Amino acid sequence: MKTLKTSLLILTLILFASCKPALEKKTWKEGILVDQFIFDKAPYPSCHSVTIVEATNGDLVSSWFGGTHERHPDVCIYVAIKPKGSDKWNEAAKVADGVMPDGKRFPTWNPVLYQIPNGDLMLFYKIGPKPSEWWGVLKRSSDGGKTWSEAEKMPDGFLGPIKNKPVLLSNGNLLLPSSTEGNGWHLRMESTPDFGKTWVMGDTISRGKKQINAIQPSILFHKDGSIQAIGRTRNRAVFSTFSKDNGKTWSELELIGLPQNNSGTDAVTLKNGKHLLVYNHVLPPGNEAKGPRTPLNVSISDDGINWNAALVLEDSNISQYSYPSMIQSKDGMVHIVYTWRRQKLKYVKVDPKKLKALPIKNGIWPGEEGKVVKAVKAEEE
């Protein structure tokens, strides 16, 4: 028995020693090629909920809402373009507002971009006084985001993608990851077989035995043909659910071993089959459901359940590095945009081949055992 204990102790020391040099050399920035603001100054004090897409011509297009503050009636939707080959973003243009025909005005919310293959660029967004009462709206651009059509109100009950990008399924349907907040938090999927001529409403997904409160899903693709939804909860951990029939039915929600601070996440399946998740890797204090929106992290996974720590995009005691959006472009690069303190928007370009990841054990970011995050409170929705 004594020999066994000694052997286990030696093994533990060896493992610890092998991990320590890796942590000492880790910058958590490996693979980042560009780190910049989308704009320096804006005609509004607050901005949030940014989205990104690659247009057909290779330009990057981004959209967000900006105004006095979230929920204020003057909040509008803006779009900026980063031309292919350029090192900076063009000046943003206002493309949508919440002004009604009778003159009444509502805030706009959560734009989401989607590029139809060899077709129009779609801009989904919401209008309404608050998330429990908003409705879905759609605009289209035939010139890569430079000009936009008149607003199309989605059919009653349809909201479109709530925060994260639609995905094109193998059966030709465009899946819109959606959720509702009017009567508690619930996930559901909407879809269209013809890019918005007709719409299909999916069933509400079961919250599972733990009654998981989840919204704002992202979709991942697996090699066995299944798809996975993953994202935000009020349950202090990231949720996961799987579908084996192209999103018609879904498994009950489960929690995976990553902390959740009641803030938006995004995820993407890379061309090599691996998955990336961008999120705040921070556990709320005590038993609270909401925590600081800092730091902002990127993790990588082979199966969508077990994740390795890859990047720290932001780490400060000032909160509000949040609501990220992430894509992989045709050239293989990963592009991430996110809210920076509600004042600006950040853009980060990553070469996924240069990522260096370490295992996340028991939900703890490597090297941060015992770390307590105390962030300066900011406006958070």
**The model's pTM:** 0.93
Instruction: Look up residue 116 and give its DSSP letter.
Output: -
Q: What count of other Cβ atoms lies within 10 Å of the Cβ of residue 96?
A: 20
Task: Compute the residue count for the chain.
Answer: 381
How do residues 304-315 score in pLDDT, each as one tens digit?
A: 999 999 999 999
The pLDDT, as a whole number, for residue 24 is 77
pLDDT for position 374? 80
Helix (H, G, I), strand (E, B) or coil at 22: helix
Residues 65 and 98: their CA atoms lie apart, in Å, by 11
At 284 the pLDDT is: 96
Low-confidence ranges of the chain (pLDDT < 50): 1-2, 4-17
pLDDT of residue 20: 64
Q: What is the largest CA-CA distance in the chain?
A: 83
Place of tokens 């709206």: 137
292 to each of 58, 262, 282, 321, how far by Cα in Å?
35, 9, 7, 9
d(CA 129, CA 346) in angstroms, rounded, equals 27
For 259-273, letters b (16+ CB in 10 Å) and e give: bbbbbbbbbbbbeee
Cα–Cα distance measured from residue 228 to residue 363, given in angstroms and rounded to the nearest whole number:
20
What are 114's two structure tokens?
A: 């989607």
Q: What is the CA radius of gyration of the chain?
A: 21
CA–CA separation, 123 and 140 (whole Å): 6
3-state secondary structure of 336: strand
Annotated domain spans of the chain: 27-359
Q: What is the CATH number assigned to the segment(s) 27-359?
A: 2.120.10.10
